[in-house]
Amino acid sequence: MADLPDKKSAFIDWYLAVVDAANLTDKRYGVKGMNVWTPYGFLARRHLDEVMVREIEATGSSPVEFPALIPANEFAKEKEHIKGFDAQVYWVTKGGLSELDIPLVLRPTSETAMYPIFALWVRSHRDLPLNVYQIVNTFRYETKTTRPFMRVREIHFFEEHTCQVDEAAADQRVRSNLDAFARMAKAFALPYVAVRRPEWDKFPGAAYSIAFDIPVGTGRTLQIGSVHHYRENFSGPYGIRYEDPSGAQKLVHQTTFGLSERLLGAIVAVHGDAKGAVFPTAVAPYEVVVVPIPSAGAEPGPESTAREVVERLVRHGRRAHLDAGDERPGAKYYRWELQGVPLRLEIGRREAAARTATAVDRLGRKQTASLAALERDVDRCLEEYDDALYARALAGYRDEFRVVRSLDELKGFAHVAIIPWCGKEECGHAVETTLDGGLLGTPESPLPMELEAPGACLACGSATGARWALAGRPL
């Protein structure tokens, strides 16, 4: 079995090799950027979705599902939006043999599918807030190099759309989404920074956009999601109005919150190591794999003990998997490590006789679990494992950031740069050109270090309005 490429020096090669070796997706489908979810990858995706659903529903959002096709005339109503997506949409222009009267867009995102209907649903202030979400596939004609989970043409997409009474209520919804994402990210053991995008990089049609960026090494960042405040930019063109308590007609203020399968890419990228993928327990297709070590001898033997262990763990609500195949135990350990299973229980003749199991987590820590207290011991092992995984990710995250005070230092810079920036677009572009990257924006969540006053803008030297901003090379 071949070694994986080195993560630090050949990150993309390493990433692609891990995704393949862990059997998360099959790239051999006949359309570039549209990949097949394998049984193992599908389970990881399902558990990701479960975390999102749990956290968003806890904030009062309800599931809906809108059609995948959007009439071109509805799609074109918000001008910034259409401009932003024009070059990226798939068109359906024929139905059978006839040209369609009104061509259809395969949704790149669902604002323009939902909002004509929201205009029918929202009548009175009593219909507000309207908070709905869907998890569907969206389509974008991606022209850059595609990569599994990170840049694809058919995207497994979570999108929340809301209507609020006014701007302040919509601001509050944005805050609530940021809090919900913080809880999701904790479940995925992913440290991230929330960043307010600069004007020139916000979502098409948004008043402002806050994105979640994850550093993935040597200054590269992965945007894994975003929250947008639309003010009345969509409710105007789509006529989403309500009658307030005094009888006046008002436009709603809207927000959206989007996340995608990139989260799975981030989990592979951040937690993975020289041995392959590493899953946090919440997302792992199998939380525990039980491997009996065959041996001739007295009953109960390792295999019947392993069966008992799996049955008990499944009854306890754990995703436990019995690997009783005829490979050597060493080959099984190697494969489950490659596939990122959090905890392995090894049961040989000695363990079976002593009513124990040797528990080895994916970070290589070994302890003995007692069958008398199996459920409690496994719960404890997984809890300790998740804590250790988060601590390891956090240490790596902290090490990604550096303060930079001059443009010169940004040439070939291999960290995420924290820079003093006056807020002017030309200074932002100077940063982007020098770094050959992006000005990500201004942080909305705490940075991993104490910072003094920003001082003068690193591009123009002006101290007026200078604030801390982040710059990196988005993947």
| Binding positions for Zn ion, rule: CB under 5 A | 422, 424, 427, 457, 459-460
Q: Which residues contact 419 (CB under 8 A, 6 or more apart)?
A: 403, 404, 405, 410, 431, 458, 468, 469, 470, 471
Q: Report helix, strand or coil for 204.
A: coil
Residue with Cβ nearer Zn ion (368 or 464): 464
- Burial code (b: 16+ CB inside 10 Å, e: under 16) for 376-396 equals ebbbebbeebbeebbebbeee
Question: CA of 339: how far to CAs of 190, 207, 289, 305, in Å?
Answer: 18, 42, 11, 24
Q: How far apart are CB 459 and Zn ion at their closest, in Å?
A: 4
At 200, the amino acid letter reads W
128 or 466: CB nearest Zn ion: 466
The region that residue 412 occupies, defined by phi over 0 for left and psi between -120 and 50 for alpha, beta otherwise, is left
CB-nearer residue toward Zn ion: 403 or 460: 460
- Calculate ∠ Cα 117-120-121, nearest 5°: 90
**Least distance from Zn ion to the Cβ atom of residue 423, Å:** 7
Cβ 258 vs Cβ 155: under 8 Å: no
Q: Which is nearer to Zn ion, 195 or 427 (CB)?
A: 427
CB of 458 to Zn ion, least distance (A): 8
Between β-strands 36-37 and 25-26, what pairing exists: parallel, antiparallel or unpaired?
Answer: antiparallel
CB of 429 to Zn ion, least distance (A): 11
Residue 70, C-beta contacts closer than 8 angstroms, at least 6 positions apart: 104, 105, 106, 107, 110, 112, 113
Closest of 353, 354, 344 to residue 310, by C-alpha: 344
266 vs 469 by CB, closer to Zn ion = 469
Looking at the DSSP bridge assignments, the partners of residue 102 are none
Nearest residue (CB) to Zn ion, 70 versus 422 = 422
Tokens for 24? 């998360």
Nearer to Zn ion, 222 or 417 (CB): 417
Q: Which of 384, 379, 387 is nearest to 318 (CA)?
A: 379
How near is the Cβ of 436 to Zn ion at its closest, in Å?
Answer: 19
Q: Which is nearer to Zn ion, 363 or 460 (CB)?
A: 460
- Rounded to a whole number of angstroms, the minimum distance from the CB of residue 215 to Zn ion is 24
Q: Whole-number minimum distance, CB 407 to Zn ion, in Å?
A: 10
460 C-beta neighbours (distance < 10 Å), count: 16
Query: Around Cβ 273, how many Cβ atoms within 10 Å?
Result: 17
User: Which residue, 402 or 429, has its beta carbon nearer to Zn ion?
Assistant: 429
Question: At its nearest, how many Å lie between Zn ion and the CB of residue 183?
Answer: 36
> What is the C-alpha to C-alpha distance for residues 208 and 204, in angstroms, rounded to an integer?
10
Compare residues 284 and 459 and give the one whose CB is closer to Zn ion.
Answer: 459
In angstroms, give the least distance from the CB of 155 to Zn ion: 36
CB of 157 to Zn ion, least distance (A): 36
What kind and span of H or E run contains 337?
helix 329-338
Q: Distance of CA 222 to CAs 151, 380, 400, Å?
A: 10, 32, 13
Smallest distance, Å, CB 422 to Zn ion? 3
Give the span between the Cα atoms of 170 and 244, in whole angstroms. Answer: 16
User: 3-class DSSP state for residue 149?
Assistant: coil
| Complex with Zn ion: residue 134 or 462, whichever CB lies closer | 462
**Beta-strand pair 154-164/253-260:** antiparallel
